[in-house]
Structure 1
């Protein structure tokens, strides 16, 4: 996580000469490198907390036989609790990981070898994931052979392609399948973009090549969804069709496009408060309206919910971290309690659903329905956040130290004199 924050800072911060910013003394309130890292952490924390609320809502207002949710009686509240934030995770991930490739393609320079990138991504994702999946699967399959295909799909990150078992064991981890596929795609596409831009003398041409590539990666999933929904009339309950990379990579493409835009614009693209605040408000209102208007499973806002929400999250991210002066929004995002949640957001994401189901099955949550929902949210949040903090320091942090086994060129480090 700190590596990603460093990447962000080194790309977006003003260039310095002998330790002094190229444009002179920075203006009062200008974002610092550490501050931007904290804002990213705060956004992660916000997304993780909203994810917990969303899944408690799914538990309490359960699917009907057509795969739809019984809505919260208050439509305005229903739009708020049913707001999905998985696209924010995708946009954030793609933005941070694409920055180095965008900088190399547009500004020149080199990138780390693909094997180093994949090694460090594996260190970040795999240890906690494998431990959690194995533990939860074993508790739900106490006698062998159990659902071996389910375990195999999860350990190989292929559950997103299985209609029956996509949400088994730890339901939300279907999105990690897409994360892994994005890492592999980025290792291939990133160096390809760098090579394609290298012969181009004009900077605007290099920017155009990168921007067009991101646009094509975004348009592809939109076309797939349109054909599947309106051409082939495939129902939304065919999960692999609408949850697979062919449908959901638009979120990653939006994040990649943001990385290209940030590198291309540099400090010239920093927003004043009079522009950033309205853009931020527009993104938040748009996200809410997208959730509010998507009342039917097959209507337009629901069908194209994820490509549209990815664009809105991208707008919110840009108007948050690429500003000239900080304000109350930034102060809230960098609150210690929220950045603390962001630090353990991966653990919270992995463990919250098993914790919720365990509490529910043990009778420690209120009964189903709107009366029990608010208290259930509080209970699950308290228990899951505490468990995530323990998981981070006991599993995630020790595992992250393995990343020091290789240097930036992929060579094994020698820890002995």
Structure 2
């Protein structure tokens, strides 16, 4: 379904023509790719840390031992992935709702998301599950849950097969929510003549989506006394969609402000520093008995959003922007999905095969470079053998989701 929200001439909002978006969009994509690379590397290091350091009995966050270093390694980058994904995917809906235009049909959006996510994910799940279930029927319930992206609702097996992929369950659900709510937001904004009113509608929707999980978490923790180890309660979409809502709000803010209100170098640097300090302090002081632990994920999502805003909505590019768009870091961003999928199975295979240092905190610094090296090599192979060929399927359909017609001269 295509949503065409171009106003009739007599209803077109007044104001100067919108500035060209191509160059800023390219810069934002490069900086996001750099953050994605950093987040992927951080995820690998953190899971090696989990392998070599035990949690205390209270399940506090982060692991016991080297508290200040542990707090740094335990920064919640999954929420950063959620914020970045929601930001990028919501931009077109925000532009359509606020400034007029059209959005890609739901079928085209979902088709592109499917070829981006599914081929590698299904292959990895089948390979890892088969290696751990050599005799049929094996743990068939776990396999079905992973193939249907429902493992996040399973209290016992949420982290089975490929542990980090519980987050992909939420990612897929977000795609469905976005293609349902995005067109509704565009339709709701279409009759509104004032741009400020359209911005308010979009911002209000994001606020409601962010507040909902906060209320759920508060009721579960303080009203019903649900323990934090009841994973579906606190890791399910009803609790973790705050990260996506924050990313959607960032997209709305970016479109609403446009070229206006871009931050100066000093203000942007202060905003980024405040966000980083806040993230670290949350990780440092988070414990099961306090609110920092209870609301850790929605709060970190908000701080990651502030960090991204202080990076993207600026007047001048600085050394940070040049570092984020450096070829080495964006290269890790390119292979980040494959690295995310394969690093845990690779780490466990190396550990079980005796190719990593023995258990204990002393083995951690030696294990990190080994796992990074092997997982990166595996991610490179996975990207070029699986991800990139699958991405070529996107050419089978045009921007409106219809099958593309190919002619002989296109093959020359």
Normalising by the smaller structure, the TM-score range is over 0.9
Whether 2:23 is the aligned partner of 1:15: answer no
1:108, distance to aligned residue in structure 2 (A): 0.8
Of 329, 341, 345, which aligns to 1:350?
A: 341
Of 357, 368, 374, which aligns to 1:383?
A: 374
- The count of aligned residue pairs is 392
In the other structure, the counterpart of 1:151 is 143
Of 265, 280, 294, which aligns to 1:303?
A: 294
> What is the rounded CA distance, in whole Å, between the counterparts of 1:303 and 1:69 in structure 2?
11
1:88, distance to aligned residue in structure 2 (A): 0.3
Q: C-alpha deviations, 1:82-116, integer Å up to 9, x for none? A: 21200000000000000000000000111111111
Tell me if the contact between 2:346 and 2:371 (Cα under 8 Å) persists in the aligned partners.
Answer: yes
> What is the rounded CA distance, in whole Å, between the counterparts of 1:70 and 1:259 in structure 2?
31
The residue correspondences of 1:104-123 to structure 2 (distance < 5 A) are 104-123=96-115
In the other structure, the counterpart of 2:314 is 323
Q: C-alpha deviations, 1:156-189, integer Å up to 9, x for none? A: 0000000011000000000000000000000000
> What is the rounded CA distance, in whole Å, between the counterparts of 1:280 and 1:111 in structure 2?
32
* Cα gap change, 1:60 to 1:315, in 2 (>3 Å): same
Of 243, 252, 257, which aligns to 1:251?
A: 243
Tell me if the contact between 2:120 and 2:387 (Cα under 8 Å) persists in the aligned partners.
Answer: yes
Tell me if the contact between 1:54 and 1:84 (Cα under 8 Å) persists in the aligned partners.
Answer: no
Tell me if the contact between 1:262 and 1:269 (Cα under 8 Å) persists in the aligned partners.
Answer: no
In the other structure, the counterpart of 1:269 is 261
In the other structure, the counterpart of 1:216 is 208
* Cα gap change, 1:100 to 1:70, in 2 (>3 Å): closer
Q: C-alpha deviations, 1:97-145, integer Å up to 9, x for none? A: 0000000000011111111111110010000000000000000001100
Q: C-alpha deviations, 1:265-317, integer Å up to 9, x for none? A: 000021110110000111111111110111x2232111111000001000111
Of 154, 163, 181, which aligns to 2:173?
A: 181
1:15, distance to aligned residue in structure 2 (A): 1.9
In the other structure, the counterpart of 2:182 is 190
> 3-state DSSP class of the match of 2:263?
coil
1:47, distance to aligned residue in structure 2 (A): 0.4
Tell me if the contact between 1:61 and 1:69 (Cα under 8 Å) persists in the aligned partners.
Answer: no
In the other structure, the counterpart of 1:394 is 385
In the other structure, the counterpart of 1:339 is 330
Instruction: Tell me the TM-score normalized by structure 1.
Output: 0.91
Of 28, 34, 43, which aligns to 1:36?
A: 28
> What is the rounded CA distance, in whole Å, between the counterparts of 1:69 and 1:323 in structure 2?
34
Choose 65-74 or 365-374, whichever is displaced more. 65-74
What 5-or-longer segments of structure 1 have no aligned partner? 1-13, 23-30
> What is the rounded CA distance, in whole Å, between the counterparts of 1:67 and 1:313 in structure 2?
24
* Cα gap change, 1:353 to 1:233, in 2 (>3 Å): same
Instruction: Tell me the TM-score normalized by structure 2.
Output: 0.92
Of 91, 95, 98, which aligns to 1:99?
A: 91
1:33, distance to aligned residue in structure 2 (A): 4.2
In the other structure, the counterpart of 2:38 is 46
Of 54, 64, 71, which aligns to 1:62?
A: 54
Q: C-alpha deviations, 1:51-85, integer Å up to 9, x for none? A: 11111111111345554568342221111112120
* Cα gap change, 1:77 to 1:70, in 2 (>3 Å): closer
Tell me if the contact between 1:248 and 1:307 (Cα under 8 Å) persists in the aligned partners.
Answer: yes
> What is the rounded CA distance, in whole Å, between the counterparts of 1:35 and 1:83 in structure 2?
26
Whether 2:198 is the aligned partner of 1:206: answer yes
Whether 2:171 is the aligned partner of 1:167: answer no
In the other structure, the counterpart of 2:406 is 415
Tell me if the contact between 2:285 and 2:292 (Cα under 8 Å) persists in the aligned partners.
Answer: yes
> What is the rounded CA distance, in whole Å, between the counterparts of 2:311 and 2:182 in structure 1?
25
Tell me if the contact between 1:41 and 1:343 (Cα under 8 Å) persists in the aligned partners.
Answer: yes
In the other structure, the counterpart of 2:13 is none
Q: C-alpha deviations, 1:365-393, integer Å up to 9, x for none? A: 11222211111111111111111111111
Tell me if the contact between 1:47 and 1:85 (Cα under 8 Å) persists in the aligned partners.
Answer: yes
> What is the rounded CA distance, in whole Å, between the counterparts of 1:329 and 1:400 in structure 2?
30
Tell me if the contact between 1:64 and 1:70 (Cα under 8 Å) persists in the aligned partners.
Answer: no
Whether 2:355 is the aligned partner of 1:364: answer yes
